[in-house]
Structures are given as C-alpha cells and as structure tokens.
Structure 1
Amino acid sequence: MLLIYGNEEAFSAVGAEALAEIIRETDAFNQELFESGELIGAYGMADQVNSKMVRVSGGTPAVTDGPYAEAKEYLGSVWIVDCDGPDRALEIAARNPSARHWGVEVRPIMHEADVGP
C-alpha cells in the first residue's frame, strides 16, 4: 500500500500549474500500472473535514469527528499495488510523481491468504 500525506499548504505550495502537471503525470503512471496489472486501485481521500471515528466501549458505539491526531499532514490518497515484492513496491513509490514533492509511504498489507484460519 502506498500512502501519500500532505495538507492544503503543501499541495498549494507547488502552484496550480505544477499541481495540474503532477495530476497528469499521476494519471499516466496509474494507466501504466493498471496495464501491467500491478495497480489494484488508487483512491484520493474525500473531504477530510467530514471524517469520523467509531469506537466501541462496553458494546456501545460512539461516533466522533476525526481522527484528528496531532499532525501537520493528513492522508491524501492511497494506492493498492500487487507487485513482485518490497523492492518493486519501492520502485513504484519512487516513480510516483508525489514522491518528488511530499513523499510516498510504503506499507505491506496482509492478504487474506497470508492469515490462517
């Protein structure tokens, strides 16, 4: 899983033209990865303001705004890739246009086949 974090200040700091170019490059890169079969999905996070947190205590769910951890950045988008291992995931992350501006976090995720009954 590739995670891209940022905030409005970071995203706007690159300028409107550069941001439009990053989006064009990202769309082209997404298409390349879809065609290779490595990109399962790429999802931008919608409206951060309306994020909710659900916690269950004593069997009763409580819904609050958030999560709002003390952070300067928020999760902007998530990519799910299916590739030949950690080295390839790092290569893909390095080619992501966001890596030149905000960085791309790479995290392995478990597949249901990875966990036993």
Structure 2
Amino acid sequence: MQLLVPVVVAISFYMRRDFYAAAVGIWWLGESMADVAPYADDARAGQLPLLGGVTGSEVEDYHDWEVMLGKLGLLTWDHGIGTFFFAAGGVVMAAAIIWGTMVSLRQHSAERG
C-alpha cells in the first residue's frame, strides 16, 4: 500500500491533466521507495524496530519483507532489493522534480504570452 497509493494518486492527477500534481505523486512514490529500502534490506537480519515495537527477529512471520521475499524465494536477495529500492527511489524523485519544474516553467511561459 505504501507504494500503491502514490501510484494511484499520480495516475488520478495525470488523467485529470494536472501534470504538476501528478509529478508530486510520482515524487511521493520515489520517497516511499526510498523509505521501504531499509526494511527490504533488513529482511533476513530482522534488526530494525517495526511498527509494533518489536524487531523482525523477535516475532516469527512479523517482518513484512521477510515474509514477502521468503514466499517469493528472494530472501537471499534482500540487500540487493533494498539497494535497488533506494537507488530507484532517488531516480524517481529526481525525475519527478525535473518533470514538475518543466511543467511549472511551461505554465509560467504560457501565462506570460
């Protein structure tokens, strides 16, 4: 849901042709990707504190990323997946800022005539 909601918001604004707001939604997606990166990276170690106040190693099947990656057979790739989410999140945020700036400049040029 942390990644799905920003995507839905961005698509919704894009369909309304509100491109600046869509860029903000895309930036939110990139920020969320960077935000989940440490938890994906922690899937095997289970050392980060989670929302319930415990770590993934304290309670069995509590760490979402451990469960998801385990069911997909990708648990040994947790560090690579975490790195991917962090890097991709940065790229997505940068692209959204560039897009939003371009939209804003075009709008400003159109208003000036």
Please give the TM-score of this superposition, normalised by the length of structure 2. Answer: 0.26
The TM-score, its normalising length taken from structure 1, stands at: 0.25
- Which structure: greater strand fraction? 1
Which structure has more RCO (C-alpha within 8 Å, separation ≥ 6)?
A: 1
Where is the helix percentage greater, Structure 1 or Structure 2? 2
Instruction: From the CA coordinates, give the structure whose radius of gyration is larger.
Output: 2
